[in-house]
Structures are given as structure tokens and as C-alpha cells.
Chain A
Amino acid sequence: MTIEVGIEIVNDRDIEVVVELPIGSIFEVSVASGAQNVATSQPYVFTIPPKSRLHTPVRCVCLNQDRSIPYNLTGRPTPFRYDSEAIDQSEVWATVGNPRASDW
């Protein structure tokens, strides 16, 4: 399942800024919305010219199989990424639904 997240990044400075979004970067919506949180399914690199803003969609997979598909919800980036070199929807759902407390 692919969900797109629209992001607006603002560069108020006088210099160009390169912004990277690692694969698996997690965006959240409020729990009360009942909708899934999402993680980017590929890495992104954006170059934002001085004194400008970038509007861009990024492709994501969903994190919470038990929740509904998000649509037009205000979201936020989080400090987290889903840790994988390749994002597979089924694997993500299975992992988030079955947390592991140890590495073995």
C-alpha cells in the first residue's frame, strides 16, 4: 500500500540547503485519527534554493495494519526511521505488530 505525504520545507537562509530523507523516515498522525502512521519507502534528497520553499510528495508505506488508511491528515515528521534497506509493506506491518525485546 503506497501513501503519499505532502511536505513543505522552508529555507529562510541565504544559502542553498540539501535535505536528505532516509528510507524509512517516519511521519505520524494523531492516534485519535485512527489512521496509520507511515514510513518513506525510498530515500530522498532535496535541494532547496536560498529563500524558498519546497512542496514535495514522498512515497510511504503504512506502519499500523490495524488502523485505517490516512487521507488528507495533518502530520509531523518524527525523529525515527523504520530501520531497513528495503521497505516491504507486509514485513513492516508484521514487525510493528510484533515488537521484539531482544535481538535473538
Chain B
Amino acid sequence: MSGQNEVWSLCRAIIRWHVTYGLQACERHEGLGDLLPAYRRFLQQYGAISVQNERAAAAIAREQIDGVLAWSGREVLPDSTWREVDAPSSLLQNPPDTLIAAATRILVLLEQLAKTPPVDDAPRVFELPEGWWQRQVPLMRHMKRIQSVCWDETETKLRNDFQQVVAGLEQHGLGGLEVLVAAHKSARHSRQDRGKEEDSQTGFYVYSPACFNFQLATGERTLVSRLVRGEVHLGRVVVGVSQGWAIEQHDRGRRDDH
């Protein structure tokens, strides 16, 4: 979500300012001598990490507002900061100008995020219905948006989500995961062609099979149902065979029999 990305960028901006300018500025301030050891400890603790959790973000904001960093609250953040911390567009449109404004915005955003359940925790878009191989069960269309920093992360999440649904099918020689991932990739390419790129700001869409017009290929005598019931099993399945493949396989089988 963009709110969360804003929080991480704001944290990076505050830390970056303190790491780059902080010690010199602190030493220039009168009466801050006693604060220096604690300030150095803060820089050691936070200077080298990439904040990616909300508790750490809140701690940084509170230190900036009324803790060990408070002396610097009115310091101005350079314009170049936002590019350096990879700020999302929502932040670039209206960046805070001072450190205390950045910290205040972090706390406001965290409060908003606490009220919004993460989309990744939303139920899976797709579950195989109970006894799906025994009857015709229509699949429904569902969609959700997940938060990822990039497509590769989205694909990993997709695979994890769908893998849990189709995990039991492999023992019957059935797939399902690859076609669903490939369909999402195709949809993404189509959106890119139309100039509707997804990114970490908008989130990435996850669709149930029905959204691609996929339904279950089940029925009393269908290959899928017979495979799951163990009434037949599969030998080789080759996608993209030349004409004459069946004859070659038949001949090979006869040679093997002899």
C-alpha cells in the first residue's frame, strides 16, 4: 500500500538526514553535549538498517518529536532527499519540509494503517470446493489486490497462494499452478500494452480462475475426475507434438513390449 511505502520513505528520510548532517548539526547546537552519547547510540542502532516494520517506524517518529532527535525538529529536509529515499508519488506530491513534519506524518499514517486490514491478509481468491471432482461446481469470480514491491514478489505470493490450493493434485498427475501464474502474467502484459502499469503504489491484482473464464473440467467420466479417483493414470503428456506422434508412441510401445 502507498501509505506503508510513505512511512518507510519518511523513516529513511529522517535517518538519512541524521546520518548525513546530524552529528555536525548537533555539535553546533549549544547545550546538547549531554545528549551526544545517546544520539550516537541512536545513529548506530538505526543508521544502518532499512526500516520495514511499523514498530521501528513509530519509535523513530517519537524520538524525532520528543526524544533524542527532538532538537532537530525544525531542520529542513533537502529537496534531493525524496529522490534518494525512493519516495512514492503520493509523498512526492506533498513532501514534509521539516523533520518534525515528517515524523508527525509517520504517526498519522501509522494510525490510518492500523485501521485498515492489510490486503495480503484477505482470504484467498480461490479455493477448490469440497468434493470438487465428484460434481459440477461453478467457480466464482473474485479479485484482490496485494502489496508487493515488484512483480517478482507478486509472483512468489501468487505461487504460495495457489500452491496451497492445488497442492494435492500433483499426486494424480494434475497441475493448475503454472497456468494460473501464466494467466496473471498475460493479464499484466495486456495492461502494460494499454498503458496501465501496476506498481508498488497501486498494488498487484490476483484473480480467481473464473476471472479468466476457467471452470472445473469435472464430470463423472472426465479425465480429471477419473485421475483423481485413480481409475486411470497418465503416462507422458507432451505439449506441441508433431503429426505422427501417436503412431511413433504406439510403435515404441510395441517395441518395448517385445
> Chain A: residues with CB nearer than 8 A to chain B?
3-13, 17-22, 24-31, 35-38, 48, 53, 55-57, 60, 63-67, 69-84, 95-103
Q: Report Cα–Cα, A76/B190, bound state, in Å.
A: 25
Q: Are A103 and B239 in contact (CB under 8 A)?
A: no
Q: Are A84 and B213 in contact (CB under 8 A)?
A: yes
Q: Are B186 and A77 in contact (CB under 8 A)?
A: no
Known contacts A7-B237, A8-B234, A8-B236; A99/B178 CB under 8 A? no
Among B173, B211, B237, B242, the most chain A Cβ lie within 10 Å of the Cβ of B237
Q: Are B176 and A78 in contact (CB under 8 A)?
A: yes
User: Total interface residues on B, using CB and 8 Å?
Assistant: 59
Q: Are A75 and B237 in contact (CB under 8 A)?
A: yes
Q: Are B238 and A74 in contact (CB under 8 A)?
A: yes
Q: Report Cα–Cα, A30/B236, bound state, in Å.
A: 15
> Chain B: residues with CB nearer than 8 A to chain A?
128, 132-133, 141-143, 166, 169, 173-179, 181-183, 185-187, 189-190, 205, 207, 209, 211-219, 221-224, 226-227, 231-243, 245-246, 249-250, 253
How many A-B contacts at CB < 8 Å in the complex?
Answer: 219
Among B185, B205, B249, B253, the most chain A Cβ lie within 10 Å of the Cβ of B249
Q: Report Cα–Cα, A56/B249, bound state, in Å.
A: 9
Q: Are A28 and B179 in contact (CB under 8 A)?
A: yes
Known contacts A20-B221, A67-B186; A6/B169 CB under 8 A? no
9 pairs of A and B residues whose beta carbons are closest in the complex: A8-B235, A101-B143, A76-B175, A97-B190, A75-B239, A55-B249, A99-B211, A81-B217, A71-B240
**Contact of B214 (CB < 8 Å), options: A21, A26, A76:** A26
Shortest Cβ distance from B223 into chain A, in angstroms?
A: 5
Q: Which residues of chain A are near B237, meaning CB under 8 Å?
A: 5-8, 27, 74-77
